[in-house]
């Protein structure tokens, strides 16, 4: 399967993730070190909790990247297909699958124009992707079109410190810096968009109050767990936590 033309081929997300060096270092940069391990373990736990009993179900992982979520769900017994616009990222995913002796198709494709029939997957998953899409509403519409039962997706919250980082990145990107000026979202906006396509939020999880980048600079799992537990007890995680992972289910027709 060759991907359909990108909605905006000049958008940073297509160029950045087609860089072989980005693909090769992606997992180490995002999930390396003690804090990266906490992030990865939390993401895996939340995903498995939200999808529930997955054995035998069909799953599409949109923006699969290096295949972390796809391989996790396949190991749990799901029939998974991974899709990504970057062949370089897919090459890493295929290498990981071979090392783990897991067979699943990793296909080239654009999340804005998925080449699958309506409601062709029980579950659709897309992690750390919405924030980078050039047309997020079109992207949401495609997820809803191909999902039969449920969708799991995440995004950085506008009410969190991610909003400041996003703004800073946008400015530096406009000045010529090679960065990723991602978007932030309110739960209300995301909820309304999915609801317009027949999906409603059924569960929500917020990860950290402090930025992940700050936790990585400090580099102390004890500090991270202690301060974030304190924030949660104070009710700040519910208000300011990010990224936000949500489970959506198709509304009864």
Is 189 among the domain residues?
yes
- Average pLDDT, integer, range 6-33: 83
pTM (2 decimals)? 0.92
Order of strands, edge to edge, in the sheet holding 79-84?
A: 106-108, 79-84, 58-62, 121-126, 147-155, 242-250, 199-208
- Average pLDDT, integer, range 164-179: 72
CATH number, domain of 185, equals 3.40.50.150
In whole angstroms, give the CA distance from residue 97 to residue 67: 8
Range of the domain at 138: 12-155+181-207+245-250
Is residue 175 very low, low, confident or very high in pLDDT (cuts 50, 70, 90)?
A: low
* Token pair listed for 52: 């529930």
Encode pLDDT of 105-144 as tens digits.
999 999 999 999 999 999 999 999 999 999 999 999 999 9
Is 169 among the domain residues?
no
Number of domains in the chain: 1
**∠213-234-159 over CA atoms, to 5°?**
50
Is 31 among the domain residues?
yes
Give backbone dihedrals phi and psi of 61, rounded to 5 degrees, phi first: -105, 105
């Amino acid at each position: 399967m060759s991907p359909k033309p990108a909605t905006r081929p000049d958008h940073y997300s297509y160029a950045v993730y087609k860089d072989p060096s980005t693909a090769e270092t992606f997992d180490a940069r995002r999930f390396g070190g003690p804090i990266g391990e906490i992030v990865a373990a939390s993401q895996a736990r939340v995903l498995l909790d939200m999808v529930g009993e997955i054995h035998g179900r069909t799953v599409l992982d949109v923006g699969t990247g290096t295949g972390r979520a796809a391989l996790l769900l396949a190991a749990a017994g799901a029939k998974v297909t991974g899709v990504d616009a970057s062949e370089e990222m897919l090459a890493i995913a295929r290498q990981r699958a071979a090392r783990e002796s897991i067979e699943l198709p990793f296909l080239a494709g654009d999340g804005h124009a998925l080449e699958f029939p309506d409601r062709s997957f029980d579950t659709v998953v897309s992690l750390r992707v919405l924030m980078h899409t050039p047309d997020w509403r079109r992207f949401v519409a495609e997820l809803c079109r191909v999902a039969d039962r449920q969708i799991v997706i995440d995004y950085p919250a506008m009410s969190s410190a991610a909003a400041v980082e996003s703004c800073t990145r946008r400015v530096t990107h406009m000045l010529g810096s090679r960065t990723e000026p991602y978007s932030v979202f309110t739960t209300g906006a995301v909820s309304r968009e999915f609801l317009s396509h027949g999906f409603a939020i059924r569960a929500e999880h917020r990860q950290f109050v402090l930025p992940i980048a700050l936790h990585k600079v400090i580099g102390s799992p004890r500090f991270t767990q202690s301060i974030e537990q304190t924030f949660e007890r104070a009710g700040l995680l519910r208000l300011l936590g990010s990224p936000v992972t949500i489970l959506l289910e198709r509304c009864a027709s």
